[in-house]
């Protein structure tokens, strides 16, 4: 009888055991990072993570508990099969999500959350991002986990193994009590504020904190907040104080600039290079021989050696580059067309100045809601995957980069001057497929990525060689910049500055000043302002950018990662975790003032996003 009365706690225990095993699987899968943790760290991960395990076990147990309560009141109901098949269904679903989370963390550096929702309208592209994942291994992990716990449930925790030989009233009372008690672990205790992710944050090592998270709890929490764009979670100070500090940052840059162009109204060819990390660019200190053409162009033009991407996703980098707008931590403004309508766009500014405008991309512009953003930018022409022959596609994304550049060259020869043309490459995105023989040996993901970067550089070199022969070349400024960096080849954590450092080069026939290096620290959001200053075009709407060619008393770069930010000044790097509310990296010489400036920028920029 006692055994029957305790079935609900035992069912709850079943799920707790599952989530503890899932955490152990996560730590084993990422054993290279786990080996850096101490035994004390591992113990703390499991003990702190247990609170979230208990919380989500309560959520997943709620329906069976209610079913048991119903059968206590109405004995004719058949709930045993219902509980069994409900449990099996949830087991399979959670095990599949667990497998997805294992590999997602490898690439993105954070646990599974609502981020993939941004890509649901383009499942093909979403699948392409995971094409390099070890599908067989992940499938085996999901299957083995599901099977093991299904058998454990069937022979130990199945409701049919517990016989009800006592009064309906007593059993109903006990079932109701256990159901009501679920609320306590569900909210994490008696405290006033319900449980959240910060309860597992204890270490200066973000991986240790991430390992403590309960993946489905984290997914559920972020899904519930998915449409939450009306509240700023980053309130470190009064709004006016944050606004004043940010204004002070931009006031430190002079409102003037030396001229580097020999043409008053040059054509502008704005080339965005997919995932081009500085770690593969030799003149930026990266590995030699991967980007010989880009390095050559840097010597012939002006290279900015301390530029950082504002975020770590393509659609976020696009907004930072073309609208000079900061990136959001847990969402992206590009998913909301009503908000992007209020952004400045380089294409609009050039169009008002009499330029013809065009955008070229070998993939689908529906990806991550990019098309709506570009249409709000009022480009004259949008060229995407569907404008290229099917035989030119790679297996996942679309036309290879050399095919893209061939189309651009063909069209620009027919383009009326002046023109502003944006070209976005894609071949250096997962799964890193290239149509030429591999330059570098190896079958690791980092080797494939390295070869894809080399291929795009090769395609760029072929394009530039032909472009120099065209009549429009002498009056054209070429902008070369990456959309974001990449954790490879060193598997950088998602906050590390080496992941975000990218190339930015100005070159072309319209450039008067050549062979120059600019070491001013800057962000992607500064590029639009820098460009417009040179062309004497209106830049006031691009209020989040600085002119990188003007003197500055306080040069800085700011970027965000998942619920955190990094604020870089000369010789000083601060990375701050907004969940733990403390620095991850606090470099030598970082002052309390720099911490407050970083917080102010985080708060004020997100508040600007909320108010749009």
Q: Label the pairing between strands 302-308 and 516-518.
A: parallel
Choice among 114, 129, 310, 314 that is catalytic: 314
E runs forming strands in 298-376: 302-308, 356-361
CA–CA gap between residue 195 and residue 186 (Å, rounded): 8
E runs forming strands in 262-384: 267-273, 302-308, 356-361, 381-383
CA–CA gap between residue 325 and residue 542 (Å, rounded): 7
Bridge partners of 304, per DSSP, are 504, 518
Distances (CA, A) of 506 to 135, 435, 464: 41, 28, 13
108 with 115: CB under 8 angstroms? Answer: yes
Closest CA to 445 of 385, 390, 489: 489
Name 392's Cβ contacts closer than 8 Å, sequence gap at least 6. Answer: 399, 400, 403
CA–CA gap between residue 199 and residue 190 (Å, rounded): 14
CA–CA gap between residue 254 and residue 549 (Å, rounded): 9
365: preceding bond cis by omega (within 30 degrees)? no
Name 67's Cβ contacts closer than 8 Å, sequence gap at least 6. Answer: 77, 79, 82, 83
Closest CA to 116 of 222, 274, 234, 211: 222
* E strand or H helix that includes residue 181: helix 168-181
Task: Scan for tokens 């009590």, then name that residue.
Answer: 177
Which positions make up the binding site for substrate? Answer: 429
Which positions make up the binding site for Mn(2+)? Answer: 274, 483-484
Q: What is the DSSP string of 509-577?
A: TTB-S-SEEE---EEGGGHHHHHHHHTT---TT-TT---TTS-BSS--EEEEETTEEEEEETTEEEEEE
Tokens encoding 85: 């098949």
∠ CA 105-107-111, nearest 5°, is 20
Asked about 446 being catalytic, the answer comes back as: no
**Alpha helix stretches (DSSP H) within 109-162:** 123-129, 135-152
349 with 265: CB under 8 angstroms? Answer: no
Sign of CA dihedral 23, 28, 32, 37: positive
Bridge partners of 568, per DSSP, are 557, 573
598 with 559: CB under 8 angstroms? Answer: no
195: preceding bond cis by omega (within 30 degrees)? no
Residue numbers annotated as active site: 314
């Amino acid at each position: 009888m006692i055994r029957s009365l305790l079935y609900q706690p035992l069912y709850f225990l079943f799920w707790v055991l599952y989530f503890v095993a899932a955490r152990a699987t996560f730590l084993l899968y990422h054993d290279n990072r786990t080996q850096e943790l101490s035994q004390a760290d591992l113990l703390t991960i499991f003990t702190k993570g247990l609170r979230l395990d208990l919380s989500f076990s309560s959520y997943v147990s709620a329906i069976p508990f209610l079913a048991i309560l119903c059968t206590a009141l109405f004995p004719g109901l058949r709930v045993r099969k219902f509980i069994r098949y409900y449990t099996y269904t949830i087991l399979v679903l959670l095990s599949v999500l667990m497998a997805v989370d294992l590999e997602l963390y490898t690439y993105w550096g954070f646990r599974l959350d609502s981020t993939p929702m941004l890509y649901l309208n383009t499942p093909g592209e979403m699948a392409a991002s995971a094409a390099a994942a070890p599908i067989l291994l992940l499938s085996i992990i999901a299957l083995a986990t599901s099977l093991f716990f299904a058998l454990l449930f069937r022979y130990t925790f199945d409701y049919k193994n517990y016989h009800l030989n006592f009064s309906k009233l007593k059993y109903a009372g006990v079932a109701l009590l256990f159901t009501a008690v679920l609320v306590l672990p569900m909210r994490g205790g008696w405290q006033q504020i319900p449980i959240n992710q910060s309860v597992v944050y204890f270490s200066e090592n973000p991986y240790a904190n991430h390992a403590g998270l309960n993946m489905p709890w984290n997914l559920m929490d972020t899904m519930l907040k998915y449409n939450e764009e009306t509240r700023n979670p980053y309130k470190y100070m009064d709004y006016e104080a944050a606004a004043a500090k940010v204004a002070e940052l931009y006031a430190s840059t002079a409102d003037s600039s030396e001229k580097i162009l020999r043409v008053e109204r040059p054509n502008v060819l704005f080339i965005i290079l997919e995932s081009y990390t500085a770690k593969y660019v030799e003149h930026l200190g990266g590995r030699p021989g991967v980007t010989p053409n880009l390095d050559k162009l840097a010597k012939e033009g002006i290279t900015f050696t301390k530029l950082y991407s504002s975020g770590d996703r393509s659609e976020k980098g696009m907004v930072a580059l073309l609208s000079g707008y900061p990136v959001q931590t847990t969402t992206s403004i590009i998913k909301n067309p009503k908000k992007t309508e209020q952004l400045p766009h380089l294409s609009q500014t050039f169009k008002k100045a009499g330029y013809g405008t065009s955008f070229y991309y070998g993939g689908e512009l529906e990806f991550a809601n990019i098309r709506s953003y570009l249409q709000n930018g009022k480009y004259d022409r949008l060229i995407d995957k569907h404008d290229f022959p099917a035989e030119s596609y790679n297996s996942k994304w679309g036309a290879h980069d050399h095919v893209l550049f061939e189309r651009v060259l063909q069209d620009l020869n027919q383009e009326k001057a002046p023109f502003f043309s944006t070209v976005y490459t894609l071949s250096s995105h997962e799964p890193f497929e290239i149509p030429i023989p591999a330059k570098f040996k190896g079958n690791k993901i980092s080797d494939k990525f390295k070869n894809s970067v080399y291929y795009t550089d090769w395609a760029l070199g072929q394009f530039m060689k032909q472009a120099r022969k065209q009549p429009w070349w002498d009056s054209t400024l070429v902008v070369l910049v990456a959309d974001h960096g990449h954790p490879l080849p060193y598997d950088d954590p998602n906050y590390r500055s080496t992941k975000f450092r990218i190339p930015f080069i100005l070159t072309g026939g319209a450039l008067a000043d050549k062979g120059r290096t600019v070491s001013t620290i800057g962000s992607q959001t500064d590029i639009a302002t820098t460009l417009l200053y040179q062309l004497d075009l209106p830049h006031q709407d691009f209020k989040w950018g600085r002119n990188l060619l003007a003197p500055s008393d306080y040069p800085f770069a700011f970027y965000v990662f998942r619920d955190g930010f990094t604020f870089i000044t000369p010789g000083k790097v601060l990375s701050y975790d907004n969940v733990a509310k403390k620095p991850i990296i606090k470099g030598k010489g970082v002052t309390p003032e720099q911490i407050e400036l970083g917080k102010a920028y985080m708060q004020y920029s997100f508040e600007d996003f909320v108010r749009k």
